[in-house]
A and B are shown apart, each in its own frame.
Chain A
Amino acid sequence: MARLSPLWILAAFGAALLLALALSLRFGAAEQGWADLIEARAFRSVCAMAVGAALAVVGLLLQRLTANPLADPGITGVNAGAALATIVLAYLWPGAGGLAFLAVASLGAGLAGLALWGLAGGSGGTAALSLRLPLAGLAIEALCLSLAGALILTDAEMQARYLRWLLGAIPMVPRHETAALLAIGLALVSGFLCCERLELLTLGAEQSDSLGKKPGQTVALVLGHVTVLAGASVAIAGPVAFLGLLVPLVAQGLARGNLRWAYAFALPGGAALLLLADTLGRVIARPGEVDAGIITALLGGPALILVLRRMLAR
């Protein structure tokens, strides 16, 4: 098979994104009078695209950094940590602004990441880390999400705001997403600039050091981007599962190991996939809606099985 030029692949991803956007604006739970709904759908589509791209990039960066194809922000429990932190803030200080939610969610993501490292890493070495990771993530996720669920259930207003959010739902009307959307935009651009450093690091810490890029700094930079992107995406749409597993898998395969191309593919790929998931969820259960997080979880099982088969075949 002739090798496709990366530019053509990128163009195909872009076309898929445009198609997904058009579908998302056109179809919804309500069929009649769609001209009135387009404004609401436009906001929703922007959120879906931002969260999708952010989660795809988080997955890509984490997988490269840990050399573990299972490192998805949902499976690792990072999203769940961010969700618990968000709920605690909303419980203690209901009037908090968007910036506070962004900061606290990112903090939660970082703490969950630390807990994961302690639980999954340890003395077992990298081989143990690779397959223990989903178990440790499952434990952290179950604990964080059930604590968050308990807090949400204490209060009727919290239930109205966060019960569906807790499984991953793209917001219909603006609440306090502006700060998070801006953060995602900035972090996606600056994340691209980290790709070269990360690629150097994965070649070897010594080579990276001799070229003047300190390995420790690279790790800190990448983890900083991961926590901000994961925190911001959770602040907007709750813990959306498995997107960061599926998209990087495809993007890395198409980019044949080139991290910057994989990054460029993951952006429109993640955005298009979450848009499609959200649109599908609005259409399949009319007049009700199935939240986007449920649709991505539906795809998540097969994606997890696919990744495992590739890991175990090696």
Chain B
Amino acid sequence: MRPVLILSLAMLVLAYVALAGGREWLSPGQVWAGLWNPDDFLIQVLRLPRVLLAIGAGMALGLAGALMQGLTRNTLATPDVIGLVQGASLGHVLVLVAGGPPLWGAVAGAALALALVSLLARGQGALAFVLYGIGVGATAAAATTVVLQRAPDAQVAQAMLWLSGSLSRADMATAGLLWAAVAVGLLATLGFGRALSTLWLGDELTLALGINPARLNLLVLALVAMLTGAAVLAVGPLGFLAFTAAPLARAVTGAEPPALLPAALMGACLLVLADLGARLLAPWVSLPTGLLMALIGAPYLIFFLTQDRRGMMR
């Protein structure tokens, strides 16, 4: 329970700083008043939706990453590395251009990418799974750009911003949709907690504990597709968040794997932090949040590879 408390506290502190901070710093009293005053433009329209979106998307991606890492027992097999995030963004823009419900497009894209990678890599080991995923992700990302370039101009301008991973389009409707998905994910995590915590132990042990591994797998994969799709819909194809959240949460708090809730909270902390960074830098240079996330995540991947020299990733 302690890791969850520590990270919840950190998330609340960061959320407060994100509400107070920016081009104009607010005092605690002003933040509190703004939260309860529906006419406060700065808090209600600009900052609160962004913070809610960052927390929701961070939780969704952190949880999805921890679930995938648990299911595959492979640190690298997270939605952003194995192409699910890119598949979700392709599905989203296809549905956007054709004119349908965008959430289903993103979720279906993530699910299709997951099915494709699983099919390709069946029985070929952990690393093959990751590498096929990189291939699927590269093509899906390129296809997303092609679809957007062919779309009418007004849509392109909007979607290009989204594509680089930006929270500046934040609105309450998207945040609501995202939070609904996160709520389902968190409830499932709590409800199936005992079964899910056997993920890292492997199929034999799961069977011995009287849990049906096939059904557990299906549940986890469905959750991952839903969470990834919702997060991508809200904040665009953010790289490295799902990959870094769970290992970082374990390193900071010493939580035992699969550390699902700590990973979700750490994801929220990371994204709120990256978005706050993007906003604080904005007077000098306007960097998309996704780019800041890559600047945090890529060094971690390098660190991981140096640590893993003799490990599983042969």
Which A residues fall within an 8 A CB radius of B?
119-120, 122-124, 127-128, 131-132, 134-136, 138-140, 142-143, 145-147, 149-150, 153-154, 167, 241-242, 284-285, 288-290, 294-295, 297-305, 308-309, 312
Contact = CB atoms under 8 A, between A and B. Distances in A.
Nearest to A296: B142
15 contacts: A132-B305, A135-B305, A136-B305, A139-B302, A140-B302, A142-B297, A143-B299, A143-B302, A150-B285, A153-B285, A295-B146, A302-B139, A303-B135, A304-B135, A308-B132
A288 B157 CA distance: 13
A299 B142 CA distance: 9
A153 B310 contact: no
B124 A312 contact: yes
Nearest to A133: B131
Contacts of A309: 120
B158 interface: no
A302 B137 CA distance: 11
A121 to B, nearest CB: 9
Contacts of A298: 139, 142-143, 146
Given A146-B291, A153-B285, A297 B142 contact: yes
Nearest to B301: A139
A131 B314 contact: yes
A284 B148 CA distance: 12
Given A124-B309, A300-B139, A142 B120 contact: no
A153 B165 CA distance: 14
A284 B131 contact: no
B139 A143 contact: no
B7 to A, nearest CB: 26
B138 A142 contact: no
B139 A132 contact: no
Contacts of A288: 149-150
Interface in B29-84: 76, 81
Contact of A131 (B131, B294, B299, B309): B131
B146 A294 contact: yes
B290 to A, nearest CB: 9
A139 B305 contact: yes
B291 A301 contact: no
Pick the most buried of A149, A284, A309: most chain B CB atoms within 10 A of its CB: A149
A113 to B, nearest CB: 15
B306 interface: yes
A298 B145 CA distance: 10
Given A284-B150, A300-B139, A305 B298 contact: no
Given A241-B138, A242-B138, A150 B132 contact: no
B23 to A, nearest CB: 18
